[in-house]
Amino acid sequence: MAKMWAGRTDGVTDKIADDFNSSIKFDSRMYKQDILGSMAHASMLGVKNIISQADADALIAGLEGILSDIESGKLAIDFTCEDIHMFVEQELTARIGDLGKKLHTARSRNDQVALDTRMYLRDRTNSIIAKIKDLLSAIVLKAEEHKTSIMPGYTHLQRAQPITFGHHLMAYAMMLIRDIERFTDLLGRINISPIGCCALAGTTYDTDRNYEAKKLGFDDIALNSIDGVSDRDFCVEFASNCSILMMHLSRFAEEIILWSSWEFKFVELSDAYTTGSSIMPQKKNSDMAELVRGKTGRVYGDLIGLLTMLKGLPLAYNKDMQEDKEAVFDAADTVDMCLDVFAPMVATMKVIPENMLLAAQKGFINATDLADYLVKKDLPFRSAYKICGQIVGDCIKAGKVLETMTIKEYKAYSDLFDKDLYEEISLSTCVAKRISEGGTSPKSVEKQIQFVKGKIENA
Ligand code: ARG
């Protein structure tokens, strides 16, 4: 069959070219946005007397019918069509006759596809924000339970200073809050209507772009028609926000994997979010967390693919841009799946504070506090640091820890040591004392929790 755009050419293309050129396999998921956009367009054409009101009403009724028939499963998408825009127009014309051909007045597929993609990503962005909030709620709940559970904090993956598990979890909450902010900020840039930009130069018809934009819930219209049809910054930003979010999830996933190992055993994932091995009966693998970590790479790929696709494109529309959709769809689907599994995985994760404490007691992580003890007695920090370094070194050789050294032994290093040092280096004191804003003290963690709770409610 000749294409709808047959004219200059006979519109008969090779089957291989058709398959190569077609995007309906993936853009059919935008059927709703496409139809709603067309309804707003038909309405504007009627209001502006570009077509008669009766024609506009018939177009809208026809489109409504198509939408409800697709949704009810009565109408199947015809995958031999070039794209979703062609399918809807073809179906409309089949239903209401030649009048259907009036729909494309003062419009092009170039502004149409930009419109659909923006409307589609607007929905996906809102749903991602909601899903991040679900994960945040799970994190905050766990953090609240473990405001006082002591664990070693690490730098270079070496035990560094005592922190609470609640504090550690709230670090991820802060990252996710920024992710929400990034997606919210992006919504403002997505929500600019390109419809009416037409092929690239605007139109000679007396259209009302603001009318269409308002009907479709946009905040504003694109002010340059060439930019309106060529801009895919919003796709890049979407994939970029997804990438940053995935990077956060991946770091969290990596820690959950480490913590679940026998070497750490700080947490145990629920059976519902782990798998067994087909050969080793003792295994309980953190596959979900590993997959989140693994899928991060593909979302980065979506971002890099988009950036690379766009970098050499002359203005305005080029068919290369059809490649934008699979990238953003894949990023959105991947992020959705990861968030869907992450929230319940965290919510059902069993935390084992005894093991965290055990690890915290072994790593000399109160050595900074021992040095601070001397500093408070007026020894310069560098000298205190040196003395404590020697003590730690000697302890390691003797198989001792700071808590089990006698006061007599301490005195051999410095006269400034006294009995009150034990209270100073007890891990709970070390944590409770870190009262600086944002620090690990339970009070500070509580403040962070309240901040995040407020954001979940109001962001
Ligand atoms: N399927 C196309 C896309 O996704 C729609 C726009 C086609 N425009 C054109 N001038 N061929 O980009």
With a cut of 90, say whether residue 152 has pLDDT above it: yes
User: What are the Cα distances from residue 83, in Å, to 29, 66, 90, 221, 261?
Assistant: 11, 16, 11, 25, 49
Q: Which tokens go with 374?
A: 């001397």
Give pLDDT, residue 103: 97
What length does the chain have? 459
Pocket of ligand 1 (CB under 6 A): 23, 27, 83, 109-110, 113, 317, 319, 321-322
| Residue of 9, 226, 322 best suited for mutating to test ligand 1, as the one with most atoms within 8 Å of CB | 322
Q: What is the mean pLDDT of residues 389-402?
A: 93
Nearest of 144, 131, 143, 141 to residue 176 by alpha carbon: 131
Catalytic residue among 72, 156, 278, 436: 156
Query: Do 109 and 23 touch, CB atoms closer than 8 A?
Result: no
**Ligand 1 mean position to 325 CA, how many Å?**
11
Query: Hunting for tokens 């970590």 — which residue is that?
Result: 293
Query: Do 318 and 312 touch, CB atoms closer than 8 A?
Result: no
Residue bearing the CA closest to ligand 1, atom 4 = 322
**Ligand 1 mean position to 205 CA, how many Å?**
22
Give pLDDT, residue 5: 76
Name residue 95's amino acid. R
Q: Is 431 exposed, middle or buried (0-12, 13-18, 19+ CB in 10 A)?
A: buried
Mean of the per-residue pLDDT values of the chain: 96
Give pLDDT, residue 9: 83
pTM of the model: 0.94
User: 280 falls in which pLDDT band (50, 70, 90)?
Assistant: confident
Kindly report the number of other CB atoms within 10 A of residue 97's CB atom: 11
Nearest ligand 1 atom to the CA of 321 is 12
With a cut of 80, say whether residue 389 has pLDDT above it: yes
User: What are the Cα distances from residue 315, in Å, to 91, 102, 117, 118, 320?
Assistant: 32, 28, 19, 19, 12
Q: What is the mean pLDDT of residues 227-232?
A: 98
Q: pLDDT (tens digit, 9 = 90+) per residue, 418-451?
A: 999 999 999 999 899 999 999 999 999 999 999 9
Listed in sequence order, the residues at least 6 apart from 32 whose beta carbon sits closer than 8 Å to its beta carbon are 67, 70, 71
Nearest ligand 1 atom to the CA of 117 is 4
Q: pLDDT (tens digit, 9 = 90+) per residue, 327-364?
A: 999 999 999 999 999 999 999 999 999 999 999 988 89
Sign of the dihedral through C-alpha 337, 340, 342, 344: negative
User: What are the Cα distances from residue 24, in Å, to 12, 20, 331, 362?
Assistant: 18, 11, 19, 60
Strand partners, 152: 162
Give pLDDT, residue 264: 97
Catalytic residue among 68, 261, 277, 383: 277
With a cut of 90, say whether residue 281 has pLDDT above it: no
Sign of the dihedral through C-alpha 319, 126, 145, 275: negative
Nearest ligand 1 atom to the CA of 84 is 1
**Ligand 1 mean position to 95 CA, how many Å?**
24
**Ligand 1 mean position to 321 CA, how many Å?**
8
Give pLDDT, residue 139: 98
Q: Where are the beta strands (DSSP E) in 349-435?
A: 350-351
Residue bearing the CA closest to ligand 1, atom 7 = 109
CA–CA distance, 333 with 235 (Å, rounded to integer): 14
User: 245 falls in which pLDDT band (50, 70, 90)?
Assistant: very high
Give pLDDT, residue 277: 76
**Ligand 1 mean position to 2 CA, how many Å?**
17
Nearest of 394, 393, 373 to residue 383 by alpha carbon: 373
Q: Which tokens go with 57?
A: 């009403």
Stronger pLDDT, 459 or 183, i.e. the higher one: 183
Nearest of 372, 364, 382 to residue 416 by alpha carbon: 372
Residue bearing the CA closest to ligand 1, atom 12 = 322
Query: Hunting for tokens 């959105």 — which residue is that?
Result: 332
With a cut of 90, say whether residue 278 has pLDDT above it: no
Residue bearing the CA closest to ligand 1, atom 2 = 322
Give pLDDT, residue 7: 83
| Eight-class DSSP state of 426 | S
Give pLDDT, residue 458: 87
Which of these ranges, 153-157, 177-181, 279-283, 372-376, has the smallest mean pLDDT? 279-283
Give pLDDT, residue 275: 85
| Residue of 20, 110, 117, 226 best suited for mutating to test ligand 1, as the one with most atoms within 8 Å of CB | 110
Give pLDDT, residue 11: 79
CA–CA distance, 84 with 117 (Å, rounded to integer): 12
Whole-number CA gyration radius for the chain:
30
Q: Where are the beta strands (DSSP E) in 138-232?
A: 150-155, 158-164, 192-193, 220-221
Q: pLDDT (tens digit, 9 = 90+) per residue, 39-96?
A: 999 999 999 999 999 999 999 999 999 999 999 999 999 999 999 999 999 999 999 9
CA–CA distance, 120 with 113 (Å, rounded to integer): 10
**Ligand 1 mean position to 32 CA, how many Å?**
17
Q: Please indicate whether residue 248 is annotated as part of the active site.
A: no
Q: Please indicate whether residue 277 is annotated as part of the active site.
A: yes
Listed in sequence order, the residues at least 6 apart from 254 whose beta carbon sits closer than 8 Å to its beta carbon are 289, 293
Give pLDDT, residue 459: 75
User: What are the Cα distances from residue 153, in Å, to 128, 349, 400, 448?
Assistant: 30, 20, 21, 18
Q: What is the mean pLDDT of residues 381-408?
A: 94
